[in-house]
Amino acid sequence: MLESTNFTYRNDRLYCEDVPVHEIIREVGTPAYIYSKRYFTERYTEFTQAFNSINHTIFYAAKSNFNLNVIKTFLDLGSGVDVNSEGELIRALKAGASPDKIILTGVGKTPREIKLGLEHDVLMIKAESEEEVYLINDIARQNHKIARVALRVNPDVDAQTHPYISTGLAENKFGKSVDDALSVYAREKELSNVKFTGIDMHIGSQIVTIDPFIEAIERLKEVHRIVSSFDVHIEHFDIGGGIGVKYKDESPFTIKDFADAIIPRLSTCGCDILFEPGRFLTANAGALIVQVLYTKRNSYKNFLVVDGAMTDLLRPSIYGSYHHIVPVDIYPKREIKSYDVVGPVCESGDFLAKNRELQEGKQNDYYAVMSAGAYGMVMASNYNARRRSPEVLVDGSSYKVIRSRETFEYLLYDESI
Ligand code: LLP
């Protein structure tokens, strides 16, 4: 079963929307990322429609997939962009984002990043420590700006997700505790060049139950209530991203359920509600297509050695993440066998799947590694001096190469002997 309805079989050949996957890989080769524009559009529309009864703005979390064309797809739908670094800020601007639709995030922003955010007059900078607030104030003063700042509050709730992507527990490095945040908000008058305009949280990623969001929102509402009594005027209530998706057998809440649960809690706060979804909008829009280089077996296992690796899709290696794998061509007569699907990199941790039941693979067959639209290409690396993969955006019956495969000249251009 394919998770995304935008990848389907026709006569046993895999298509993305109306384009045969073969047509794309004939041009760009493998490994290659393919994304469905229709999926991006449908997911964004589903999200924004669920919240149309309240003032809200979606700031697409560019970290999940920062290809310019992907960012632009969301901008064209009316989205803002949440950027986590100077590099993402530059990408958002280059994709055409207006600075008043950009929010600058990051637990460790450099002075240079803060200055860039201020120079461009982004809607809001999210500060994660007291020192950062004072630094923003200094930089804003030097540059004759008033910085609009949101404090990221760490509500200390368990998002019940992988520990590496849980961010709202007291033990995590993110944000400030409720008490600390209150004491920082209380000092607004001391800050000549900072105006607190927002309150922010982001409790983790791939969260599949609503309860942790509700718990965290309730804590932030309390902060908001107290802060208002300090005469600090909060305009933006930012509840972050983190909405989980289906990779395997998870049953994430629907966006409609999410909206029904949180709208009554937020509608009276008098703020614009900000969301920063990444994975929800992008994960199931994409697949990584790989080709079998070799098949082999040892006394324990069958292996498909494919041309895609941890350098292309890191999630299985570092989080043990499951990505569904399907053949690009179905051969109904072939048997189903159990495989480890592994890449060419010199690490035993270089795998895309383990003990996976798949249609028997033969040399040169193609497989699609599904749900790879989020945290796929953006986490790719050049380890083993491998070139990063091309990316392709499908739109109906046409497609566009939105990033070409890296060249070795490009990989060597900033080194000399
Ligand atoms: N806002 C902030 C402040 C974030 O840190 C993140 C993700 C998001 C929004 C978007 O979260 P999403 O809606 O995509 O869950 N590499 C990991 C995911 C790391 C998420 C980091 N922060 C993975 O592959 O699962």
Domain ranges for the chain, please list them: 7-36+283-411, 105-277
Distance 136 CA to ligand 1 centre (A): 24
Note the pLDDT tens digit of each residue in 311-367.
Answer: 999 999 999 999 999 999 999 999 999 999 999 999 999 999 999 999 999 999 999
Model confidence pLDDT, tens digit, residues 229-256? 999 999 999 999 999 999 999 999 999 9
Q: pTM of the predicted model, to two decimals?
A: 0.97
Band of pLDDT at residue 169, cut at 50, 70 and 90: confident
In degrees, to the nearest 5, what angle opens at C-alpha 323 toward C-alphas 319 and 324? 160
Ligand 1 atom closest to the Cα of residue 64 is 14
Residue 1 has pLDDT above 60, yes or no: no
pLDDT tens track for 376-404: 999 999 999 999 999 999 999 999 999 99
Confidence of residue 148 (pLDDT cuts 50, 70, 90): very high
Q: Is the CB of 240 under 6 A from ligand 1?
A: yes
d(CA 369, CA 361): 14
Burial 79-118 (b: 16+ CB within 10 A, else e): bbbbbbbbebbebbbebebebebbbbbbbebeeebbbbbb
User: How many angstroms does the Cα of residue 160 sit away from the middle of ligand 1?
Assistant: 14
Closest residue by Cα to atom 16, ligand 1, is: 375
pLDDT at residue 310 in the model: 98
pLDDT at 165: 81
271 is catalytic: no
* CATH number for the domain formed by residue range(s) 105-277: 3.20.20.10
Specify the DSSP class assigned to residue 328: S
Structure tokens at 322: 């499951």
pLDDT in tens, 2-57: 566 799 999 999 999 999 999 999 999 999 999 999 999 999 999 999 999 999 99
Angle at 405 between CA 402 and CA 407, to 5 degrees: 135
Q: Domain 7-36+283-411, what architecture?
A: Beta Barrel (2.40)
Q: 319 near 165, Cβ under 8 Å?
A: yes
